[in-house]
Amino acid sequence: MSLWWSFRWQMLVIATIFMVFLTNPGRSQPQTNVLTQSCSAVNVINDQIFYSNLHDTYRDIRRQLSNNNTYFATSNLESNSEPVYVMAQCRKYMSTSDCLLCFDFAASSIRSCAAFNGARLVLDGCFLRYESSSFTDQTTLPGENKVLCGNSTSSPQTVFETAVDELMSNLSKATPNIKGFYAAATTPIVGTNTSTAYAIAQCVETVTPDSCKSCLQEAYDNIRSCANDVTDGRAVNLGCFMRYSDTAFFSNNQTIDIAPLIRDVSSSNKVGIIGGVVGGLGGLIFLLIIVIWWYGRSKRTKPKGATELQYGPNDYSYSHLRKATNDFGDENKLGRGGFGDVYKAILDNKKVVAVKKLKVGYVGAKVEFANEILLVSQICHRNLLGLLGWCIDDSNLLLVLEYMPNGSLDKFLWGEGKGSLNWKRRYDIILGIARGLAHLHKESHVRILHRDIKSSNILLDDDFQPKIADFGLARFQPEDQSQIITKFVGTLGYTAPEYVRYGVLSDKADTYSFGIVVLEIVSGRTCTSQGIDGPSTNFLLEHVRYKSTRTTLFYFINLN
């Protein structure tokens, strides 16, 4: 079925291109020189539904671009099992017919990524991108930003380089202040065999002015390397594009005067510098007050009793916790993690708690400690491990947490308790983890992304009810952002591919990790289990895919 959809779409594109060229010979300049193409690393699950959605969104995109003076379009279908999000953009110096030709060419060429759920193709005249999740606010990603330099040089090169550098710098500053995020400009090149330099800058229209500015600044930094040697260059980022050349690729009457915009930016920068200095001093004073306050609290020696624990997180004295854990003795150790050890502690009021003692020697220990206090103290749910208090004493960083008698889930899946969980308990554990994640993502007053959901971070109480633990890597997600671009942290094997590869973080990353944990609960295997039967099934996820494919084939063979 997917081959038929592919063939039908390609025939439609070829026919469209042929008709446009036939009715408008000699005038078409769709600028279909391919600059960069990339495919997602994730395969489509149901290709028939996915391709049907993709083709429907393509038709919607083409309809939008058919309107005069429309150069940017988005479309999506997200109501079924294979959601599709599509974005296309043409350079604004192009005619409507050339824009459509460029889009048709891109839609046909991008079919080489047909097996994957995402792809991106950038041409001189336009770009096309589709994904299975929203990406409208993305501007840059590691590995996806390209600089392409030509091969012809100008003489003398220094004069050309200086003029082009100033032109591209001005465009990067002015474009974010223009409606539609597009600008084209020229500059004379005196004393060379090149009379004029032509340049454009453009951002996708769904980003903010600040995002456009930072994207073009990075593009400008990259494209400067071309001007050192050659007379044409291009910088291609996810959310923006820059190009310069000594040859006209747009008409002179399509430029705009960016000088007033540059002056406005310069004035704003002066105000911003003054405001930044004043704000920085105020922030420094505020930070100093917080440090003094925190230091004073850490020196208190009064232990906390049962009554005080009812009112939320408290600061404990180091001597009190040291006594409660029998001097952090091995006989009280509950477990060891990558960031520290956990001990069982009995407080003066006979309450049993867990004390997590962080290793201060590793980079980011204090940041992780503060992060966990900030996040966990703001949430309360029966499936999230509660924070009872903390302690800061010189280099000692300790968290006081709820005590979970049955320890971590992994112990019952492949550890000493292997085989003791019946299906009812496994089901309840899965349901409890899902409820905890739903609270973090949807029900809490702030959206929290855990970033390290795995079996060893799921703790079990007396009744084997699960609680999600270890929020050291967690972070907030702003409500107005569907995803965050950040450095990857977490545990390989449990982490979503788009987060590992591109740093694209959203609540879907936690959901992916939850899915891996579910597979572990059902199978009793670790996600990195080796030696599973079947070709290319070195790990649990590949094994499941292999088995599901074989089951599907068996079903259809017997059906026919």
Q: Is the pLDDT of residue 6 over 70?
A: no
Question: What's the DSSP call for residue 493?
Answer: T
- CA–CA distance, 199 with 184 (Å, rounded to integer): 6
- The per-residue pLDDT for range 292-329, each reduced to its tens digit, is 444 444 444 333 333 333 344 577 889 999 999 999 99
Class of domain 2-131: alpha beta
Q: What is the dihedral of CA 310, 312, 315, 318, to 10 degrees?
A: 60
- CA–CA distance, 216 with 182 (Å, rounded to integer): 11
- Does pTM top 0.75 for this prediction? no
More confident residue, 470 or 363: 470
State whether residue 278 is helix, strand or coil: helix
Longest dimension (CA), the chain: 90
For residue 452, indicate whether it is catalytic: yes
- CA–CA distance, 172 with 181 (Å, rounded to integer): 10
Q: Which two tokens stand for residue 8?
A: 């039908």
∠ CA 550-554-556, nearest 5°, is 120
Domain ranges for the chain, please list them.
2-131, 153-256, 306-398, 410-528
For 532, half-sphere exposure in the C-beta direction (CA atoms, 13 angstrom radius) is: 20
- The per-residue pLDDT for range 100-113, each reduced to its tens digit, is 999 999 998 898 88
Fold of the domain spanning 153-256: Killer Toxin P4; Chain A (3.30.430)
Check if 2-131 and 153-256 are the same fold.
yes
Residues whose CB falls within 8 Å of the CB of residue 399, separated by 6 or more in sequence, listed in order: 355, 356, 358, 369, 372, 373, 387, 389, 390
Specify the CATH superfamily of domain 410-528. Transferase(Phosphotransferase) domain 1 (1.10.510.10)
What is the end-to-end Cα distance of the chain in Å, rounded? Answer: 17
For range 323-338, the mean pLDDT: 86
Catalytic residue among 47, 246, 452, 470: 452
pLDDT value at residue 271: 43
- CA–CA distance, 242 with 335 (Å, rounded to integer): 53
Helical residues (DSSP H) of 92-203, grouped into ranges: 96-109, 157-174
pLDDT value at residue 525: 87
State whether residue 497 is helix, strand or coil: helix
pLDDT value at residue 387: 86
Q: Which two tokens stand for residue 382?
A: 């029966």
- The per-residue pLDDT for range 238-281, each reduced to its tens digit, is 999 999 998 899 988 899 888 887 754 444 454 444 444 444 44
State whether residue 193 is helix, strand or coil: coil
- The per-residue pLDDT for range 472-486, each reduced to its tens digit, is 788 887 776 778 888
Q: Which residues pair with 344 in a beta bridge?
A: 354
Residue with tokens 């292999």: 546
Fold of the domain spanning 306-398: Phosphorylase Kinase; domain 1 (3.30.200)
- How far is CA 118 from each of CA 82, 83, 128, rounded to the nearest angstrom? 12, 11, 11
Q: Among 194, 200, 204, 206, which residue's Cα sits nearest to residue 220? A: 200
